[in-house]
């Protein structure tokens, strides 16, 4: 009977996550008539099974941003190009910009106008290859072991290389974006590198497709308050965007795709 009740509770929690986008342990405990410790145990088990992501006070849906860089490049191409066009408008001529690894950031690199002069650093070989074709861009490639999942160099060598650069803008890759959980990713080493790159930069920009919002991955990079600019799709909820602005995060809405 106890096992049945456990499965029943977890089924309800999964339904709530799909419907509401998050669950709170206090509310679930009242609904189920059990202790908050019991609900937290349920959430821990679900998180271990990859069914949700634990956050303070409850849980969020797990980010959909799985797969290798090659797989992610082929997903939502038109939407990422729209984000990229909006993001390039935030890049100042003559600035030093760090392009973090990621499929949306690769789209931003491809969308840079040929006449925009800047110095670009990146830990992603694919982004470096795109930038090298831009006649007005000087390219710095951050080295080290390339992680196949992220498509970027991570680890000690990448951190040492990043130590020599102080970008005006960090274009940060993200797997999940949430008001409470902040900017999150799936990889421990990836999160470590991203945190350091962000800390070296004057400003941080994140461009993210809609399905990443209100989701989380296991490793935190930074709170949304530390993200100066958030580039979102045309159908982003204005009320939610107002909440991000209230945290100090400027929002830029991309044009609607055809």
pLDDT of residue 216: 86
pLDDT of residue 73: 66
Q: Tell me how many degrees the CA angle 161-165-166 measures, rounded to the nearest 5.
A: 150
Place of tokens 């339904």: 15
The count of residues in the chain is 258
Place of tokens 């998180």: 47
254 has a pLDDT exceeding 90: yes
Mean pLDDT lowest among 17-31, 91-105, 169-183:
17-31
64 has a pLDDT exceeding 80: no
Across all residues in the chain, what is the average pLDDT?
89
User: What would the pLDDT profile of 8-32 be if each residue is shown by its tens digit?
Assistant: 888 888 888 877 778 888 888 888 8
CA distance 89 to 72: 24
Chain Cα centroid distance, residue 199: 16
3-state secondary structure of 185: strand
CA distance 197 to 98: 8
Mean pLDDT lowest among 76-80, 113-117, 226-230:
76-80
Buried b (16+ CB within 10 A) or exposed e, 149-179: bbbbbbeeebbebbeebebbbbbbbbbbbbb
Q: What number of CA atoms fall less than 13 Å from residue 102's CA on the CB side? A: 27
Work out whether the CA dihedral 213, 251, 92, 228 comes out positive or negative: negative
Q: Could you tell me the pLDDT band of residue 100, with boundaries at 50, 70 and 90?
A: very high
pLDDT of residue 71: 63
Q: What number of CA atoms fall less than 13 Å from residue 46's CA on the CB side? A: 28
- 53 conformational bin, left if phi > 0, alpha if psi -120 to 50, beta if neither: beta
User: What would the pLDDT profile of 148-171 be if each residue is shown by its tens digit?
Assistant: 889 999 999 999 999 999 999 999
Question: Is the CB of residue 186 less than 8 Å from the CB of residue 63?
Answer: yes
Average pLDDT on 171-194 reads 94
**pTM reported for the whole predicted model:** 0.81
pLDDT of residue 68: 60
User: What would the pLDDT profile of 103-160 be if each residue is shown by its tens digit?
Assistant: 999 999 999 999 999 999 999 999 999 999 999 999 999 999 999 889 999 999 999 9
CA distance 197 to 3: 46
């Amino acid at each position: 009977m106890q096992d049945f009740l456990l499965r029943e509770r977890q089924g309800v929690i999964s339904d709530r996550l799909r419907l509401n986008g998050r669950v709170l342990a206090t509310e679930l405990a009242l609904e189920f008539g059990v202790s908050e410790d019991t609900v937290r145990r349920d959430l821990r088990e679900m998180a271990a099974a990859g069914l949700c992501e634990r956050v303070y006070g409850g849980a969020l849906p797990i980010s959909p941003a799985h797969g290798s860089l090659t797989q992610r490049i082929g997903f939502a191409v038109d939407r990422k190009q729209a984000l990229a066009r909006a993001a390039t408008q935030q890049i100042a001529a003559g600035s030093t910009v760090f392009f973090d690894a990621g499929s949306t950031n690769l789209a931003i690199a491809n969308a840079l106008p040929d006449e925009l002069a800047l110095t670009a650093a990146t830990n992603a070989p694919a982004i470096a290859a795109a930038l090298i074709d831009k006649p007005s861009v000087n390219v710095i490639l951050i080295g080290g072991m390339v992680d196949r999942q992220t498509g970027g160099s991570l680890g000690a060598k990448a951190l040492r290389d990043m130590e020599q650069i102080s970008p005006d803008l960090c274009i940060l890759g993200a797997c999940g974006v949430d008001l409470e959980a902040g900017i999150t990713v799936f990889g421990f080493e990836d999160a470590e590198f991203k945190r350091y790159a962000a800390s070296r930069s004057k400003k941080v920009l994140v461009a993210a497709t809609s399905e990443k919002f209100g989701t989380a991955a296991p490793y935190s990079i930074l709170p949304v308050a530390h993200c100066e600019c958030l580039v979102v799709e045309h159908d982003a909820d204005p009320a939610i965007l107002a909440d991000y602005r209230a945290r100090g995060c400027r929002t830029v809405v991309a044009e609607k795709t055809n």
